[in-house]
Amino acid sequence: MSELVLINVSGRDKPGLTSEITGIMGQYDVRILDIGQAVIHDHLTWGILVEIPNEKDAPQVIRDLLFRLHSLDLQVHFAPVSEDEYLQWAAGRNRACYIVTLLSRDIKAEQIARVSAITVEHGLNIDNISRLSARPSLNPADNRIACVEFSVRGTPGNLESLRSDFLRIAGEMNVDIAFQEDTIFRRNRRLVVFDMDSTLIEAEVIDELALEAGVGPQVAEITERAMQGELDFSASFAERLALLKGLDESVLVAIAARLKLTEGAEHLIRSLKALGYRTAILSGGFTYFAQHLQAKLGIDYVYANHLEIEDGKVTGRVSGTIVDGQRKAELLREIAEKEGVSPEQVIAVGDGANDLPMLSQAGLGIAFRAKPLVKESARHSISTLGLDAILYLIGFRESETGQALKS
């Protein structure tokens, strides 16, 4: 008869420790059923579940390990595991696995406590917790972004209720929380499509044009209602455009020069390009400004509205098909097909109601600093951090993206 034993080791990490421990076990033909370790501030926690083929060897295996580990000033605990316990545990590994990502400027104990409490309430168990971001400064004011990832397993009774609970506590604690199924696609996305205004850039370009035309308040009010989903995008777009009639085209150059990129945008795009991703701008704004960003950031595709100019003046019209919400969704599918990727491999990022169709088409749809309606309707949202937080949602560690940028 064989014997199953769970071994837990803790203490200061030492080079070659895993080799030493498994080397001792190897003398008795011990079988490894599960193994894992974590090192925090040079302190090791190491666990291994083993099957000792001959139960008569078990006392000697334990004595040999105990002697060596104590000589290394390490603490060790041995616990017998019954066959029934093992089979029950092994069956549980087949349950669905999800990833919960906690994003904040600085991680606090309360945040982890409340996130983990929600998982328990919904029948999930935490398998693993990892920090994806770099180690923080001891001065909280110096920390721009922090990320902790929870791998959880189980079958939640109501996914919508779970997401609603995460959204609620995220708002209460001013953090971002994403909940995703851990599928093969999660770290295999290949295409990222962005809205432009209030997503890649901080401004709404049409509002900037309106300020130059002296109709700022009127246009800004229509823009806000359209982004909230209160007005049809195409109708409101035509109404705003008409107010720009007669604006001198030289204004476009000045506005393009002062457009400010959103926090984290440049780092995100550079990282995505280094990692082999394709990128696109799908904007209800204007090609002139989208192409300006394309040249600046190296975006692969640009689709936006062509602003008509005659005799050096804006006509108040656009030519061609208006890029509204449905058109964005169509373009997402067209680009994905051209690139040979499935919709599951696409990430879409936007802030307005006209972005919801493309967010729903993508494998990972992210409402970025979005209006309440959009935030509640999208499956994922980022409200407190910059665009580069998206790298953590697809599972990359800061060290990995840093390495990609250096290569």
- 11 forms bridges with which residues in the sheet? 44
Pairing of strands 313-319, 301-310: antiparallel
207 is catalytic: no
Q: Cα dist. 211→203, 205, 281, 285 in Å?
A: 12, 10, 24, 16
Q: Helix/strand/coil (H, E, C) string of 328-385?
A: HHHHHHHHHHHHCCCHHHEEEEECCHHHHHHHHHCCEEEEECCCHHHHHHCCEEECCC
Residues sharing a CB contact under 8 Å with residue 161, sequence separation 6 or more, in sequence order = 122
Given the residues 165, 176, 197, 355, the one annotated as active site: 197
195 is catalytic: yes
Given the residues 29, 42, 127, 195, the one annotated as active site: 195
Cβ contact 350:195 at 8 Å: yes
Q: Is 118 helix (H, G, I), strand (E, B) or coil?
A: helix
Phi then psi dihedrals of residue 22, to 5 deg: -70, -25
Name the residue among 143, 129, 140, 144 with its Cα closest to residue 40.
129
**CA-CA distance, 398 to 135, in Å (whole number)?**
10
Residue 274: half-sphere exposure toward Cβ, Cα within 13 Å: 16
Pairing of strands 346-350, 191-194: parallel
Mutual angle of helices 205-213 and 233-242, in 10-degree steps = 30
**CA-CA distance, 47 to 59, in Å (whole number)?**
19
Phi then psi dihedrals of residue 115, to 5 deg: -65, -45
Cβ contact 304:281 at 8 Å: yes
Name the residue among 186, 179, 175 with its Cα closest to residue 103.
175
Helix (H) and strand (E) counts for the chain? 16, 15
- Annotated catalytic residues are 195, 197
